[in-house]
Amino acid sequence: MGLIGGIFGVTRGLREKFGEDRVRDTPISEATFLGAGVGAAIAGLRPVVEIQIFDFVAMTMDQIVNQAAKFRYMLGGRPTVPLVIRGPQGGGIRLAAQHSQSLEAWFVHVPGLVVVAPSTPYDAKGLLAASIREDNPVIFLEHKALYAVKGPVPAEPYALPLGKADVKRAGRDVTLVATLAMVARALAAAAELEKDGISVEVIDPRTLVPLDEATILASVARTGRLVIAHEAVKRGGWGAELAALVSERALDALDGPIVRVAARNVPMPYNDSLERATIPTPQDIAAAVRGLV
Amino acid sequence: MTLSAEQLESLYTTMVRIRRFDEKTAELFQAGLVKGTAHSYVGEEAVAAGACASLREGDYIVGTHRGHGHCIAKGARLDLMMAELMGRQDGYCRGLGGSMHIAALDLRILGCNGIVAAGLPIGTGAALAEKIRRTDHVVIAFFGDGGANQGVVHEAMNLAAVWALPIVFLCENNQYALSTASKRTTAGPSIAARAAGYDIPGARVDGNDVHAVFEAVGAAVARARRGEGPSLVEAVTYRWGGHSMRANLPDYRTKEEEREWMERDPIARLGHHLVEDRHVTPIRLKELEERVEIELERAVEFAKASPEPSVELMEASVYAPHVEVREPAPTGGRELTMAEALNEALHGEMQRDARVFVMGGQGRGAHRRDLRRDARPA
């Protein structure tokens, strides 16, 4: 990571600038180097730990779930654990079942973790800066298919608030909440639907914990319809949580069922046409919206 | 290095404090005042006391589920510990943690741990933090013979060895992982012998001899302080009681074995040494013990008088206040990829705050090129 800048180049140039002490290549011991991040955070540093491919996070779950997430609470609510755990998740580049998962629901489920999921370069820069300044352990999810996507980014340092959604496109008829790589596909679907006179509001929550419930609920109150799009498998996915939340809080506002567009409930296949058939497309999202109006 | 009579009296007091604390805890558990479970350190007192005797204020420990002794030896207060065991507001963790999570960050006690051997990566991280800050503070990471068979023990020792981190891995080999004898689960001649695989010092000592523990751990601590890296010490000992105070397991040890180890009582041994070789009077020892009784009585009274925590404490304790940031300037015309944007954030934050550092597994160069070529929008 230090020497070559990570497999996607995210850490490029850091070692040259900040030295080997602060930019460390580790042995392939995910549980322990992540745990060392927990220990260093408790001891007063602010580690950023890279999981090379986020599926490997399974190797580290004790340190995330039982240690980092609970440390402050178990100790009476006083210590801080300023730790960022970041890396690429998601599919789309034929890496098959152990290198392509979208696991955000695991982390959303565990009290004590912040879960961040940017969809644009602008959001990514500002949210990573905020995550590093945050005093709680942050799971920072990067979608590997988005690394090469370009967008406007101010040169000066800035941070974006955690827990504030971004309305990527305003609309009247349907609220479409999408995360990570699904945001661009949701926007593509919305552009297509516009031609048919269907006005879609696309909301990117940007952080799943804390969640900007107010922005989503206010939108649903206006549109009366909700579609949720994520790349993770549908069963037990984050969309189920959001659907439950909206039905508990805004059932009266809904004019139809909440619809989830998500991956099939299968591991990611290697074959490229099968992989494309697994991950939701703009057409899948558009079809879900059409079904509601 | 020889210990003065004064230092030995202090160690004696520490060991008595540990023993009486856990004996009292067992009583209170039977009486229903200490709930859930707790794991008695009785019989193993020489390990924590002898080990922590080489530590200074800035040094850390990470403990285990059988951690009361570790905390006491590093200076934790009996009253705040007892209040925690009773789940009260004034406990070290305000009643949210209990026996297995006692910690005192001001004393650099990074916590007991309910997950076997999970403290080793955490202790390794604290050692890394001190190395990055270029202090001479060290860490002692306690683990058991059961914990020795967790994968992270290998990982932590390897990482600490390659980075020459200031940490002592201290295995308290009480010979049973819950009810399973260590010899049935553990290959190799000893835990200490594993040190050779990492090219670090390894020592196996009588864990019921506080002098032996002090000397072995003292040498390891001194080495760590000099910046020469980690060591492994295995202290062979025995817990007198069951795995936990729930005491719900059938016998798995022979009475003979238990009796044999109780005859090697670490406190009686030190007391004998003090009286026979150091001219400390039995009356003096009695006086030290009585002081502990008074402290313990007060601790129990303090704990009983402490209120129960409120329900409101719970939600308020999960998250530290989230970072407050201003909305950024409007976006300009410059375009970056997301990878470049993330890279810029890392550069900016590392520049802004010297506490920020990054680490992670290596990727191979050719692999990187392939992935970058493929990482285009579908």
Residues in a beta bridge with B142 = B170
A26 and A133 fall within a common domain? yes
More confident residue, A149 or A1: A149
The answer to whether residue A127 is domain-embedded is yes
Among residues A127, A125, A102, A106, the alpha carbon closest in space to that of A229 is found at A102
**DSSP per residue, B186-239:** --SS-SGGGHHHHTS-EEEEETT-HHHHHHHHHHHHHHHHTT---EEEEEE---
Q: What is the mean pLDDT of residues A188-196?
A: 98
For A260-282, the pLDDT digits (tens) are 999 999 999 999 999 999 999 99
Reported as a pLDDT band with limits 50, 70 and 90, residue A2 is: low
Distance from the B321 Cα atom to the nearest Cα atom in chain A, whole angstroms:
7
More confident residue, A289 or B372: A289
Mean pLDDT for all residues in chain B: 93
Q: What is the mean pLDDT of residues A49-67?
A: 97
Which residues on chain A are in Cβ contact (under 8 Å) with B163? 24
Q: From the options 3.90.1150.110, 3.40.50.970, 3.30.1490.100, 1.10.238.10, give the CATH code of B5-313.
A: 3.40.50.970
Report the chain B residue with the minimal C-alpha distance to residue A21: B132
Which residues on chain A are in Cβ contact (under 8 Å) with B359? 1, 23-26, 33, 36-37, 47-50
Coil, strand or helix at A209: strand
State percent of chain B over pLDDT 70.
94
pLDDT for residue B247 is more than 80: no
pLDDT for residue B378 is more than 50: no
pLDDT at res. B248: 72
3-state helix, strand, coil in chain A (%, to 5): 40, 20, 40
Reported as a pLDDT band with limits 50, 70 and 90, residue B197 is: very high
Picking from A17, A33, A156, the nearest residue to B329 by CB comes out as A156
pLDDT at res. B371: 46
Query: What single-letter DSSP state applies at residue B323?
Result: P
Alpha carbons A230 and A177: distance in angstroms, whole number? 9
The verdict on a CB contact (< 8 Å) between A32 and B376 is no
A48 and A97 fall within a common domain? yes
pLDDT at res. B246: 87
Counting every residue written for chain B, the total comes to 378
- Active-site residue, A143 included: no
Mean pLDDT for all residues in chain A: 96
The verdict on a CB contact (< 8 Å) between A136 and B121 is no
A173 and A234 fall within a common domain? yes
Report the chain A residue with the minimal C-alpha distance to residue B336: A150
A135 and A259 fall within a common domain? no
Alpha helices (runs of H) in B31-77, residue ranges in sequence order: 45-52, 68-73
Q: What is the mean pLDDT of residues A129-136?
A: 98
The verdict on a CB contact (< 8 Å) between B93 and A136 is no
Distance from the A248 Cα atom to the nearest Cα atom in chain B, whole angstroms:
21
Q: Give me the domain span that covers residue A171.
A: 166-290
Probe site for chain B from A140, A153, A212, A270 (most B CB atoms < 10 A): A153
The verdict on a CB contact (< 8 Å) between B349 and A132 is yes
Domain boundary among A114, A146, A178: A146
Report the chain B residue with the minimal C-alpha distance to residue A60: B152
State percent of chain B over pLDDT 90.
91
Picking from A23, A67, A163, the nearest residue to B322 by CB comes out as A163
Find how far residue B178's CA is from the centre of its chain: 18
Query: What is the CATH number for A121?
Result: 3.40.50.970
For B251-270, the pLDDT digits (tens) are 899 999 999 999 999 999 99
Among residues A247, A197, A196, A210, the alpha carbon closest in space to that of A225 is found at A247
Distance from the B233 Cα atom to the nearest Cα atom in chain A, whole angstroms:
20
- Of A3-17, A133-147, B135-149, B310-324, the one with minimum mean pLDDT is A3-17
The answer to whether residue A160 is domain-embedded is no
The answer to whether residue A152 is domain-embedded is no
The answer to whether residue A9 is domain-embedded is no
The verdict on a CB contact (< 8 Å) between B115 and A66 is yes
Alpha carbons B159 and A48: distance in angstroms, whole number? 17
A24 and A125 fall within a common domain? yes
A28 and A138 fall within a common domain? yes
Q: Residues of B263-302 as b/e, b for ≥16 C-beta within 10 angstroms? A: ebbbbebbbebbeeeeebeeeebeebbeebeebbeebbeb
Neighbours of B259 (CB within 10 A): 9
Residue in the structure block whose two tokens are 């002098």: B211
Pairing of strands A150-152, B335-337: antiparallel
Reported as a pLDDT band with limits 50, 70 and 90, residue B250 is: confident
Indicate the burial class of B230 (C-beta count within 10 angstroms; 0-12, 13-18, 19 or more).
buried
The verdict on a CB contact (< 8 Å) between A77 and B318 is yes
Q: How many domains does chain A have?
A: 2
Alpha carbons A69 and A107: distance in angstroms, whole number? 9
Q: What is the mean pLDDT of residues B324-339?
A: 83
Domain boundary among A146, A181, A199: A146
Domain boundary among A146, A181, A213: A146
Picking from B156, B317, B335, the nearest residue to A152 by CB comes out as B335
Distance from the A107 Cα atom to the nearest Cα atom in chain B, whole angstroms:
14
A67 and A124 fall within a common domain? yes
A66 and A127 fall within a common domain? yes
A85 and A182 fall within a common domain? no
pLDDT at res. A40: 98
pLDDT at res. B362: 62
Q: Which residues contact B360 (CB under 8 A, 6 or more apart)?
A: A1, A6, A11, A24, A25, A26, A33, A49, A50, A51, A52, A87
Reported as a pLDDT band with limits 50, 70 and 90, residue A72 is: very high
Give me the total of CB pairs closer than 8 Å, taking one residue from chain A and one from chain B.
388
Residues in a beta bridge with A167 = A203
